[in-house]
């Protein structure tokens, strides 16, 4: 006998439910909906890709970031998702611009993977480089060096 309350079929959400929830619900409801996605798959990814494309003309939001993160974690299992993100969002959801040419894409990838420890190490490294060669060599900052940041 199967317990229907814990059956995987009951946890799955249909593409239509996901689409209507993402496109019509409040941000809070959208986030809760995204949190319930326990299983991916081409159908779910299709809806999420459609959502991100339609959101490109809007300012970045928490929901856009969460959808991007879900899709980013699907890259190893879906060539279609990988191609979609590379084509439409090669630098992620938020444009990361640097006045002095720092490449923030590795940081964005670490954050999308939720590898916060490595993201923090990367940030410290870049801040030390920004502060100058002596800070980069000692691998930490004086508070007075921060005042010179662009």
Q: Are residues 143 and 118 in the same domain?
A: yes
Q: What CATH number is associated with residue 29?
A: 1.25.40.620
Q: Residue 65, CB half-sphere, CA atoms under 13 Å: how many? A: 13
pLDDT, residue 5, reads: 30
Name the residue range of residue 148's domain. 96-150
The Cα–Cα gap between 34 and 86 comes to: 22
Q: Are residues 89 and 112 in the same domain?
A: no
Q: Are residues 114 and 145 in the same domain?
A: yes
98-115 pLDDT per residue, tens: 888 888 999 999 999 999
Q: Are residues 149 and 81 in the same domain?
A: no
pLDDT, residue 89, reads: 93
Query: How many domains is the chain built from?
Result: 2
| DSSP 8-class letter at 150 | -
pLDDT, residue 12, reads: 65
- For the chain, 150 residues long, the average pLDDT of each consecutive 10-residue run is 35 79 88 80 90 93 93 90 94 86 90 94 92 89 84
The Cα–Cα gap between 149 and 16 comes to: 48
């Amino acid at each position: 006998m199967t317990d229907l309350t814990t059956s995987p079929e009951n946890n799955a959400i249909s593409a239509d439910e996901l689409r209507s929830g993402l496109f019509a619900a409040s941000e809070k409801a959208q986030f809760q909906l995204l949190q319930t996605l326990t299983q991916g798959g081409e159908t779910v990814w299709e809806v999420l890709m459609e959502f991100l494309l339609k959101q490109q003309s809007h300012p970045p939001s928490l929901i856009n970031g969460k959808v991007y993160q879900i899709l980013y974690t699907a890259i190893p299992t879906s060539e279609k998702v990988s191609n979609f993100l590379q084509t439409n969002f090669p630098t992620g959801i938020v444009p990361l611009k640097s006045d002095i040419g720092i490449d923030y894409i590795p940081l964005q990838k670490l954050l999308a993977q939720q590898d916060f420890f490595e993201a923090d190490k990367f940030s410290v490294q870049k801040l030390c480089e920004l502060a100058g060669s002596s800070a980069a060599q000692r691998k930490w900052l004086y508070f007075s060096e921060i005042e010179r940041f662009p």
